[in-house]
Chain A
């Protein structure tokens, strides 16, 4: 017996994502989903962002990792709220995990929530978390061919942070080529060139965050 179903396989995730989105809109919270390979510098970017903006913006960070609470501890040390999700082996965060985490977080008066996804440039892209802005981080040490190799992540992003630009002088990394490749996939992509370590270029990212929050 053949049954025509035509139902979305990720319907459950989409339902949770829609509920999260509604929650963020109702509470005037800008939610950013940050995606990248492991080691691109997401946590350092967020540490520096937390330190620079904590007296101007009410922020909270949701950290996603397979194991450990190390990243949340780094953010908490800056004085900004952070909650860790340990996925216990799963390669991406789901919208349901975010819903459950929002219950643990004091979200009153929050302006911005950044979700640092599990380090992985493929899988997290398939799972809408209810975010308003999707940010991809690409660090120069990863190589300048990543937009071509992982087009899905770049095509679905709103913002690209090219991190570790202080290392470019030691590497064969062509920033212009990366920007060109990224914009082929996504002509509206907002791109920032930064070094979280030296804070070069970070002021533009901070200004953009402040401008974009509701």
Chain B
């Protein structure tokens, strides 16, 4: 497994760790996704998608706050994924509920755990 990290000074405490598992890439997002950090998330996912892996899993388990700007990033990336399967890991009040309220949960495949996201068809 190789990994790299995208981080910006202006978004202290926020990081996206990219883990390559063969043809699947997992992005482990840590911190809060808001107006300041959403562009970092967008750049990270876009970079990974440009390599056209079979599957990209964006794990939001360690995200404590997800603003609508972050949801827009996720929707945009899902639309750009093309043949790459694009999946999210999210549960609970800080990430899943807001995505449910905005209808995103119906547009993107969301799984409660990383294991499920990686193993389900």
Q: Please say whether chains A and B are actual partners in one complex.
A: no
Binding site for B on A (CB under 8 A): none
Binding site for A on B (CB under 8 A): none
